[in-house]
Amino acid sequence: MFSFRTTALEDQLDKALLDGRVGCFCTQNCWDTAHGRYMYDLFTERGNLKAVFSPMGAELTPGTNHISFDAEALTELDAIVVEIQDAGARYFNYTKDVFHLMVILAAMENPPSLYIVDHINPAGVLMRPCTFTPSTGRYEGQRCNGYQIMLQPGTEYHSLLHTLQLMRYFRERYSQFELLDGFESKIADHVMLSYLQGEIQYQDLREHVKLEEQKWIRKAKRYSLYDDQPYRIK
């Protein structure tokens, strides 16, 4: 059975969420700005958080970083809450991991209830300096410096444009920054690639993205679950 709801997670009255054994399947970005806590903190406060499944490191290279879980551990849960929100541009591995989770649950005789937390595309961002030690990838075991992107409500924010701006900023200022092999084929957009290589200016990129967004919005309109109009470049 599938149920679509618009009420907040903390207002759900399902017994599995209130009193059951809950596992959270989430990324490091499951921060609730309205309450100043991570999603799983809700169940910690209730005393029924039994497991947290999250990425092992910060690398997003395909095949290197996933949300892994033990299928046997799922049998000990009554509910699994999924929240893999990002900065609005979902070009990471974790959607595949959610699909894998669904496949495992479908094969179970008495699976836990599955709840997927969704969000309207984030409205704003705060760059918070942080340090971390990747568990996989090129910098495995090394202490790295970076920024954690914290979503902030009330401010218009375009995650794709911001990501491209950050990439160009670091590419122009730090010789250590380089694009991984195969990146060109993954981005599959010659205008975005030209911007990253310093061949065109930001305004050219912005106009290109604006046009492509308008095309996508027209195609996707019939499938929208929300009354709110998606944020787009004006």
Nearest to 119 by CA among 70, 82, 64: 82
What pLDDT is recorded for position 57?
62
**SS3 assignment, position 214:** helix
- Candidates 3.40.1710, 3.40.50, 3.30.70, 3.30.420; CATH matching 9-116: 3.40.50
Distance CA 91, CA 189 (A): 14
Beta-carbon neighbour count of residue 8 at 10 Å? 12
pLDDT at residue 8 is higher than 60: yes
Tokens 């910690």 found at: 44
Q: Which residues of 98-131 are buried (b: 16+ CB within 10 A; e: fewer)?
A: eeebeeeeeeeeeebbbbebeeebbbebeeeeee
Question: What is the predicted pLDDT for the residue at 1?
Answer: 52
Q: Which residues neighbour 148 within 8 Å (Cβ) at sequence distance 6 or greater?
A: 28, 127, 128, 129, 130
Residue 64 is predicted with a pLDDT of 59
The residue written with tokens 């903390």 in the block is 10
- The model's pTM: 0.56
pLDDT at 130 over 60: yes
Kindly report, residue by residue over 186-217, the tens digit of the pLDDT: 888 999 999 999 999 998 999 999 999 899 88
Q: Per-domain residue ranges for the chain?
A: 9-116, 158-215
Q: Picking from 107-111, 148-152, 158-162, 177-181, which range would have the lowest pLDDT averaged per residue?
A: 148-152
Instruction: Rounding to the nearest 10 degrees, give the CA dihedral for residues 226, 230, 231, 232.
Output: 180
| pLDDT, position 90 | 47
